[in-house]
Amino acid sequence: MNYPPKHSDPISKLAPVMLVTGSAKRIGAAIIQAAHQQGYRVIIHCHHSQLEADSLAEALNQIRAASAVVIVVDLAVVNRQTTLNPFIQKIIDAFGQLDVLVHNASRFYPTAVGHLTYDQWDELFLTNAKVPLLLSQALLPYLQAQHGCIISLLDIHAHDKPFSGYIIYNMAKAAQRMMVQSLALDMAPYVRVNGIAPGVNVLPETDSDQALDEQQQHRIVASIPMQRIGTPDDIAHCVLYLAQASYITGEIITVDGGRSLTLAGSNH
């Protein structure tokens, strides 16, 4: 196949292909598994979690041969055209097409005003705003050829209700939210662009510096009208819905068990 594809190239009749960034584990892995179950061929992207990514791909390839591929890369490659191009080529070489791009990879940690650093700004804006925009731009010709779509994982704290103590993350997610709405206009009518705003769907890992104690977890559950933490599958279900919702673009669906209704901007 020649890259980029010409606009008039026919839409492939093969199983559609979905790329999910940061999908070795947690929400990303749930999206990959749900999409694969629906017949998608999947590209699992990871950076540090290659072991998890490889074993996920192996399990999926056992179910259907040649249906899952792993790409390992630090998404900082978007900072230079010379490093971005080989990444894009790898994505397209995986299956020869791309139908759905899911922006899932992210960094998330508190940033205290008075102690903000340039590195925090760079990392949080890179992963939550710059990567989604530059990847979307680079993959547009391929998505266009398939009349595909982009789905971005946002946050209920991306507008109106900032998460106390997380100013840079909040700002980066707000930028990503505006990207969804702007790209929906700029990429129509060939590529749809939508967002999903999770509430609390997976708690930080227990061995991470963001881990929550039992009391904090109880407080969170008490603040959720549905009285439970969400699941990665709740998000995956919404991704698959948006992937086939051919008249929805520029929309942001909140998947938070009603949590945003009760929040006026608070921390755990």
Ligand X SMILES: NC(=O)c1ccc[n+]([C@@H]2O[C@H](COP(=O)([O-])OP(=O)(O)OC[C@H]3O[C@@H](n4cnc5c(N)ncnc54)[C@H](OP(=O)(O)O)[C@@H]3O)[C@@H](O)[C@H]2O)c1
Rule CB under 6 A: which residues touch ligand X?
22, 24-28, 46-49, 74-76, 104-108, 127, 153, 155, 198, 200-202
Nearest distance, CB of residue 75 and ligand X, angstroms: 4
Q: Chain centroid to CA 207: how far?
A: 23
Question: What distance in Å separates the CA atoms of residue 124 and residue 169, rounded to the nearest whole number?
Answer: 6
**Closest distance of CB 2 from ligand X, Å:** 28
Instruction: For the beta carbon of residue 225, count every other beta carbon within 10 angstroms.
Output: 12
Residue 73 CB, nearest approach to ligand X (Å): 7
Q: Which of 40, 142, 166, 169 is catalytic?
A: 169
Please identify, using beta-carbon distances, which residue of 5 and 230 lies nearer to ligand X: 230
Q: Give the phi and the psi of residue 23 in degrees, each rounded to 5.
A: -115, 25
| Position with the least CB separation from ligand X | 22
CB nearer to ligand X: give 74 or 186.
74
Q: Which is nearer to ligand X, 78 or 145 (CB)?
A: 78
166 is catalytic: no
Give catalytic residues, as residue numbers: 169
